[in-house]
Amino acid sequence: MIVAYGTASIRGAAKYENGVPRISTVNVALFWPDGKRELMWSPVDVRGNFLLEGIPAGSYWLELRAYSPEFQRMVRARKQVQVADSEAIDVTLMLDLSAAPAKTGP
């Protein structure tokens, strides 16, 4: 088990191209630098906003994901982010719902 706690936060907005997902299927996840191990996740609200708190300083991958009934799978968008102790950063992630795009990053 990995236990980590920090004082940084990431607040953000999810934007969508070519459609609007059912909100119950949308969330964001924060991954460790290797891009494989998930540190935490948060739902995205009906306005497209999300908040992740208690993040240790460091570099991470932030992933927006939504289930696409059309493709019968998750559609994802990733962005690399860096946070410092006690820092709050704002991030916007764009998800194209017209196709299942290839994942960027690890």
What integer pLDDT is reported at residue 68 of this predicted model?
Answer: 67
Q: What percentage of the chain reaches a pLDDT higher than 70?
A: 81
Is 3 domain-assigned? no
Is 101 domain-assigned? no
Confidence band for 39, pLDDT divided at 50, 70 and 90: very high
How high is the mean pLDDT of the chain? Answer: 86
Is 2 domain-assigned? no
Is 75 domain-assigned? yes
Confidence band for 2, pLDDT divided at 50, 70 and 90: low
Buried b (16+ CB within 10 A) or exposed e, 57-75: ebebbbbbbbebeeeeeeb
Is 68 domain-assigned? yes
Confidence band for 23, pLDDT divided at 50, 70 and 90: low
- The CATH number given to whatever domain includes residue 69 is 2.60.40
In the predicted model, is pLDDT for residue 31 greater than 70?
yes
> For 32-44, what is the mean pLDDT?
94
Confidence band for 74, pLDDT divided at 50, 70 and 90: confident
Domain housing 13: 8-47+61-96
Spatial contact of 77 and 55, defined as CB atoms under 8 Å apart: no
